[in-house]
Structure 1
């Protein structure tokens, strides 16, 4: 449940020789649920609760009455709820934010570079500071803060100033190590600026950022222009009935897919001197690995910020992880896949083992070692038969979170794109369609071609219809790829998909030692096709390096069945025990969910 918390401020603040009066803090809480499920469409419900008003002083950063503004309210975890919510508690200094806003306004007419250090580890984008200015040139303070979104990785606030200007403040949750948070935020700031200023794309203007906790806000942040409008998700209907070719269906799909495809096309038009993530040059410490961009000394390529390279931070420290995070030379396009698999193998070998877990972990290690041995042979770099291979292997910007949830449509029909976390230059050929459109399950192109469809049970019919709709949506995306980016369309061919699938599996896996089954299945398919792929100059001209046997694969299949039974037997196992807040409150009210010590459990039917 998304609680929309609003803070109003009242305090006399000294501004030069003047005094400005802005309102005591008042918190108003309303409730709105906006649940995104690309397979089920959107549920948007509102439940009315009485507004709650509280008052606080602008400079009282430790006043507990304002804590609700910082809390995570989107859902509840069946286990470890308190711990998970603590990671997502985004308490920041509001007086510090006000200080940043004031300092930025005094800097408006003093730009000495594109990026300016304003102190306490905060950088300002000088070309964007006019967004804070008002006609009377008076220094504005914060008037109101509204909690507008609690996402998967961030909490977003709308900040309204006394001059009427509105800003967006985005704070990352503490679910990852601090060094990754800093790196990721710095890279996202640079990527956002690059897309806007160098490629001319429609991005809310970046105003200021800091990846450190040691700043005015005492929390890492990105401050940007606030864009009014509706999320594109409001118009995304992935379960509309009908097949591709139906004009009504295509028109409905095009509303969300077309602007995102056009943005992807624009972001991949340029190639880079290597593989890694973008940073402002001033944010990379001396001695760190980096690659300069030709004719643009503001940016460099540094370590990747793809989240999958940092999921091992529970057993590996920063120095160990940084051995595998790039940047990688343009001459070694598959080294990033090799390093990712080597990183996971290294972390698995360092895990603390119990007697019972040794065999299980050894099986997992064997799967990732197979990818490690195969990764740099996945493509025939020297003599590939894939059309336009040289273009497909070039480093191009990949943005993991292209999604209708990250696009704001203004009243004028302008599409404003948000969220560039994890953006990395990778070979275009190993990239995948955006998650909201990607589908790797059984393909059903036409329900009428399914044998005895009318005779199927209702649940089986629903599954087939789901497959058909997901197949159709991805087919629409790939149809656009062929039409508008023909030179790059081989990346979506079935053969290329099979070859790159192991990498995509690892990128998607959240827990390598629990969710390795998809990788094992992908390697199984690749092993049995290797001879033909080798003769066709798709993969490297070597014997198949995948040493997993049919016996291994049979064992993995059995383990997968056991894992699925375990997940299905646990309430909300598929979501890791997380329950959307509106669902949780309904189940709690019905007595379905009850307290179990510090956790929750689902009451068993008698």
Structure 2
């Protein structure tokens, strides 16, 4: 364990009703034209709080944004009677604009950290417009600017305010039957996404927003109409993160599967070749696994080259359906679903960073519904509660009920997909489907000091080479047994460290990156200080205590080296 957090301090599950993992929620409150409109006020982070707030501070000309908003709906600035902060997400701040006559719509402004802004804005707008043209319930676009070269001095999107409840606000209060209804509705919508056809992979745009050489035109629905949409550069966040933003690398549009498979790894090799330095894992609980030694970026470049060597073999040749380009929502989770009182889906929101990818890479169970790593879920058995559930202690019942809920959602999604969207189910069930996707995503992800995860999956591929590729030739990647075993051991240790981090977050009551609602911050910090004190007190040597202090998981640290 790393740093050595003793089981008596972290593996005791929180009692039912004590505190839960925090998650960001929409904030609905009226605000005057004050500096708070430019600041992030929905929550705080228990480490690197000042940095997170700087990343989300966006100053713009409020009066001009209101004027542009009014013009977008063919009204005058004086018709704007309300301008309120509505919600703050990971990449944008949304405002509710109210016009005379009570008509309301949303003005959304990206944070400074949102990249690549011009492409992300243009692509999301075109994606939503394209989906609306196929009767998919997404917000209507009233206007947008993909650059800050306008009187408001910011990029923006003006869009419909979708009436209804945010599913994230009620998800955990729904009955099993109600959740089943929602999952069925989502799968039905996904089947409509899958029915759409695209000539290439990448992201969707208006053809007028891109240079001709950077696009593959989507044929118009009507022969006499000029084509409005195209596939252009891939807006996946990892391709543009940090210093990668200005690298002259291939990002699409991709004409075939191999271009897709190669792009992310080639980008990361270019980044590491120019900016790479040995780094400790950014996830600080992983560092003890490597005795707190920096990991070599050159070693990771070698692993990426090994991935590129086998990338062509990841394509499921002989099954053209699996490499047909498909569009999916980039983050299909409850917070991005608006529902009516009777749980009909009124709208899917937040299409930022949407991509069109080959089906064998795009297929997946949404993160909010999947329960991978669980034997029962992966076997697709019908989940049941333990026979002695009612006789368990309260904490154990809580754990079993939560496990049952996860298994139930996983099973329901797969079962419903098999019935309603068999093409997607076929891709999910295809041989080594998960391994192919993992290799692609791990090779594309920004390097954060982890040299083992991608390599461990390459080792798994090499051990199952003939089953994965259906060829008789030997795998070109050969790993000595001792090296293979050590890599798999380290990868397993990293997984344990990640699980341990989740437990720590739950104990403290924080979410990703240490986020918690602003009014819970002091309580979370107090619990964090207690956890740190208990952990330091449990240190067996002075050296161990020093390591814990230097690598404490909830202390501020410099992130520049990982950008």
TM-score normalised by L of structure 1: 0.70
The structural deviation recorded for 1:373 is 1.8
Would you say the 8 A contact 1:274–1:301 is kept in 2?
Answer: yes
User: Which structure shows the bigger proportion of residues in helix conformation?
Assistant: 2
Q: SS of the residue aligned with 1:91?
A: coil
* Equivalent of residue 197 in structure 2, options 257, 271, 288: 271
CA separation of 1:405 and 1:592: change in aligned 2, threshold 3 A: same
Query: Which residues in structure 2 correspond to 1:167-178 (within 5 Å)?
Result: 167-177=105-115
CA deviations 1:388-410 (Å, max 9, x no partner) are: x3222211112211222112224
Is 1:304 paired with 2:234?
yes
Instruction: Provide the residue aligned with 1:152 in structure 2.
Output: 90
Distance in 1 between the 2:511 and 2:275 partners?
24
CA separation of 1:550 and 1:165: change in aligned 2, threshold 3 A: farther
Would you say the 8 A contact 1:290–1:327 is kept in 2?
Answer: yes
Is 1:318 paired with 2:249?
no
Would you say the 8 A contact 1:210–1:220 is kept in 2?
Answer: yes
Would you say the 8 A contact 2:86–2:94 is kept in 1?
Answer: yes
Is 1:427 paired with 2:358?
yes
Aligned length: 490
* Equivalent of residue 226 in structure 1, options 142, 158, 161: 161
Query: Which residues in structure 2 correspond to 1:63-462 (within 5 Å)?
Result: 66-104=34-72, 129=73, 132=74, 140-177=78-115, 180-197=116-133, 199-237=134-172, 249=176, 251-286=177-212, 288-295=213-220, 297-311=227-241, 313-314=242-243, 316-320=244-248, 323-329=249-255, 332-353=256-277, 359-381=295-317, 384=318, 389-410=319-340, 413=344, 415-431=346-362, 432-444=364-376, 445=381
The structural deviation recorded for 1:276 is 1.1
Distance in 2 between the 1:452 and 1:409 partners?
36
CA separation of 1:354 and 1:503: change in aligned 2, threshold 3 A: closer
CA separation of 1:531 and 1:488: change in aligned 2, threshold 3 A: same
Distance in 1 between the 2:528 and 2:402 partners?
32
Q: SS of the residue aligned with 2:102?
A: coil
Distance in 2 between the 1:531 and 1:151 partners?
44
Q: SS of the residue aligned with 2:408?
A: helix
CA separation of 1:53 and 1:488: change in aligned 2, threshold 3 A: closer
Q: SS of the residue aligned with 2:85?
A: strand
Q: SS of the residue aligned with 1:275?
A: coil
Distance in 1 between the 2:553 and 2:22 partners?
27
CA deviations 1:132-152 (Å, max 9, x no partner) are: 56xxxx775321111121112
Q: SS of the residue aligned with 1:482?
A: helix
Distance in 1 between the 2:466 and 2:394 partners?
42
CA separation of 1:456 and 1:563: change in aligned 2, threshold 3 A: farther
TM-score normalised by L of structure 2: 0.75
The structural deviation recorded for 1:319 is 4.5
User: Which structure shows the bigger proportion of residues in strand conformation?
Assistant: 1
Q: SS of the residue aligned with 1:543?
A: coil
Would you say the 8 A contact 1:490–1:496 is kept in 2?
Answer: no
The structural deviation recorded for 1:580 is 3.9
CA deviations 1:420-478 (Å, max 9, x no partner) are: 11211111122212221123212224677989999999878766664443233122111
Distance in 2 between the 1:477 and 1:174 partners?
36
The structural deviation recorded for 1:341 is 1.4
CA separation of 1:553 and 1:584: change in aligned 2, threshold 3 A: farther
* Equivalent of residue 420 in structure 2, options 484, 489, 505: 484
Distance in 1 between the 2:279 and 2:333 partners?
44
- Where in structure 1 are there 5+ consecutive unaligned residues? 1-39, 57-65, 105-128, 241-247
Q: SS of the residue aligned with 2:327?
A: strand
* Equivalent of residue 583 in structure 1, options 507, 511, 520: 520
CA deviations 1:549-587 (Å, max 9, x no partner) are: 443443334544665687758975983344443332324
User: Greater CA radius of gyration, 1 or 2?
Assistant: 1
- Where in structure 2 are there 5+ consecutive unaligned residues? 1-19, 221-225, 281-292, 533-548, 556-563
Would you say the 8 A contact 2:279–2:449 is kept in 1?
Answer: no
CA deviations 1:23-44 (Å, max 9, x no partner) are: xxxxxxxxxxxxxxxxx79989
Distance in 1 between the 2:387 and 2:269 partners?
44
CA separation of 1:276 and 1:566: change in aligned 2, threshold 3 A: closer
